Amino acid sequence: MNQYMLSVYEAEGAVAGAPATPEAMQAFLGRVIALEEEMDRAGAFVFGGALHGPDAATVVRGGTGLDKVTTDGPFVEAKEHIGGFYVIEADDLDAALAWAEKVVEATNHDIEVRPFRATGRVQAATD
Amino acid sequence: MDDVERAFREAHGPAVATLTRLFGDLGLAEDAVQDAFVTAVDRWPRDGVPDNPAGWIVRTARNRAVDVVRRDRRGRELTEKLASDPLRAGSPADEQTSEPLRDDQLRLVFTCCHPALRVEHQVALTLRLVAGLSPAEVASAFLVSEETMAKRLVRAKYKIKAARIPYRVPDDTELPGRLRAVLTVLYLVYNAGADVGARGELRAEAIRLTRLLVTLMPDEPEVAGLLALMLLNEARRPAHGEADVVLLKDQDRSLWDRVLIVEGQELVLGALRRRRPGPYQLQAAIQALHCAARRYEDTDWASIVRFYDRLISVMPTPVVALNRAVAVAETDGPGDGLLLLDELAGELGGYHPWHAARGSMLKRLGRRPEAAAAYARAAELARTEPTARFLRAQSERLERDAEG
């Protein structure tokens, strides 16, 4: 098994095509919860969630004493930032792309798929 | 190309394909096959080319790869797996025709043309791994430096490995889309070779790969359609002239290659009988009709227009619409053709064949100054100098006639 990160990018704090009304939000959440349950049943769900906006980000840089700097803002000043992601397990890229298609359908948003290599506490994919 | 070189090229795809299945690593497979070729360069001139060069290369490369993997911890496991591999027991003659080998080659083609890779990487990988061209040859075919091409190949192979692009023939639900990507790559290779005379070898490679795909997937009529399309285009190349600008109307049809035409026509008919028409079959059918006419005046334009009607329903691109308009001009007159062309002005205003087609129709309608202007504009937009020169000459002749 291999792991992949499926991420959603938001542009300038808003996800394009995001639900605008409470009803649409309800339906959106319903679709996302159903998809996550489907991932769980298939043993594909590892971890996932949404991020607060880049305005809430803080950057910490290494160094000692006076070199140690903590600054406001995201690491890269860009129009697009990751808005949320899933880490999933899949046999190969085709299987990961099949999940990505379902995420696109549920979230109504484009998804980037990248191979994920676990380190530390997230359990590594089993071969 | 000498015997050894030809043998290498033909053995490369099958050998990389088999090794990739056995070892699950495209990079290892390519390196091992490369090592086997180096050994062959040393031995074959001395001992002669073996009866089954592909089998020899696969065996030598496999031994080489086993040596490499024995050194790491997965070695023991893999060596055990190889011992039970049915290919290992077979004679060299069996190896070349066996089912697993055919499947391996198909897997390799689909891996190289996976839509998660960008198209220029798909093309580079297919030429390098399936067709067996050297990185230098692939680079010169696409007019990029060897360094650029090497980087492209490394990046593509890194993605296959890191993202685990599967080494597998897609299942029935995915197959139509994935096969389309493969056919696009093969046709891109053919057309890259059709652009400039110096790259003619690419056309031969594209035809060889498409022939291979026809034998690997005999039940897919679009594959046969693509092969037919290439063969019918290839058959008429001798009549294109040095500068590649002799119009269909003016070609010396005795220069056409009848053997290729017959093969192409039979492929089209066989494919269309399966009643699953697609863009390549329909384009090939149109070319088959052109090839069937002994003289330009004998062309069956009514049937050609009917095939364009079907083609445009499955492939509604402006270029198809342009070609259809040219055919309609032959059945319904240049006035009707011109009306259809003018509908495409927005999409094709920067495309020289559109201006040239307008020039031709305006000329037939007796609107000479407008025709001269259209040809002049076409000449400005032409991508190659011989084409530009040809179009300028058309324009100047019309201007002279208009004055005189």
Question: Do the Cβ atoms of A92 and B164 come within 8 Å?
Answer: yes
B159, closest residue in chain A (CA to CA): A115
For the segment B246-268, the average pLDDT, to the nearest whole number, is: 93
Closest chain B C-alpha to A114 CA, distance in angstroms: 7
Proportion of chain B above pLDDT 70, given as a percent:
90
Evaluate if residue B77 carries a pLDDT over 70.
no
pLDDT: which is higher, B81 or B177: B177
CB contact under 8 A, A93 and B170: no
Shortest distance between the Cα of B165 and any Cα of chain A, in A, equals: 5
Q: What is the pLDDT of residue A124?
A: 54
Tell me whether A1 touches chain B (CB under 8 Å): no
Interface test with B, best of A2, A4, A92, A114 (most B CBs within 10 A): A92
pLDDT at B197: 53
Mean pLDDT of chain B: 88
| B32/A77: higher pLDDT | B32
Q: How confident is the model at residue B93 (pLDDT cuts 50, 70, 90)?
A: very low
pLDDT for B392 equals 95
Interface residue A112 vs chain B (CB under 8 A):
no
Q: For residues B250-271, give the mean pLDDT.
A: 96
Residue from A97, A101, A112, A113 whose CB has the most chain B CBs within 10 Å, to mutate: A97
Please tell me which residue, A110 or B194, carries the higher pLDDT value: A110
φ, ψ of residue A30 in degrees (nearest 5) = -60, -45
ipTM: 0.80
Average pLDDT over residues A76-104: 93
For residue A92, the chain B residues in CB contact (below 8 A) are 164-166, 168
A101 touching chain B per CB within 8 A:
no
User: Which has more pLDDT, B286 or B45?
Assistant: B286
In sign, the C-alpha dihedral spanning B110, B112, B118, B119 is negative
The pair of structure tokens assigned to B167 is 């080494």
A and B: number of Cβ contacts within 8 A: 26
Q: Which residues in chain A have their CB less than 8 angstroms from residue B170's CB?
A: 94
- Domains of chain A and CATH, by start: 2-116 (3.30.70.1060)
Report, as an integer, the average pLDDT of B76-100: 53
> Are B123 and B109 in contact, with CB atoms under 8 Å apart?
no
Mean pLDDT in residue range A85-105: 95
Whether the pLDDT of residue A123 is over 70: the answer is no
What average pLDDT score do residues A24-46 get? Answer: 94
A97 touching chain B per CB within 8 A: yes
Report which of residues B73 and B165 the model is more confident about: B165
Nearest CA in chain A to B115: A94
pLDDT of residue B89: 40
- Report the range of poorest mean pLDDT among B19-28, B99-108, B126-135, B179-188: B99-108
Is the Cβ pair A94, B170 closer than 8 Å? Answer: yes
CB contact under 8 A, A115 and B114: no
Structure tokens at A14: 């808003």
- Position B171 pLDDT exceeds 50: yes
* Interface touch A92/B166, C-beta < 8 Å: yes
Residue B96's pLDDT band, with cuts at 50, 70 and 90, is: very low
Least confident stretch, B70-74, B352-356, B358-362, B370-374 = B70-74
- pLDDT above 50 (res B88): no
Interface-testing mutation among B111, B164, B175, with chain A (most A C-beta atoms within 10 A): B164
Using the predicted structure, report yes or no on whether residue B343 has a pLDDT greater than 90. Answer: yes
B160 → chain A, closest CA residue: A93
Q: Which of B9, B21, B18, B59 is nearest to B39 (CA)?
A: B59
Highest average pLDDT, of B134-143, B172-181, B338-347, comes from: B338-347
In this prediction, residue B194 carries a pLDDT of 79
Q: Determine contact: B107 vs chain A, CB below 8 A.
A: no
Q: Which has more confidence, B180 or A17?
A: B180
Q: What is the pLDDT of residue A2?
A: 93
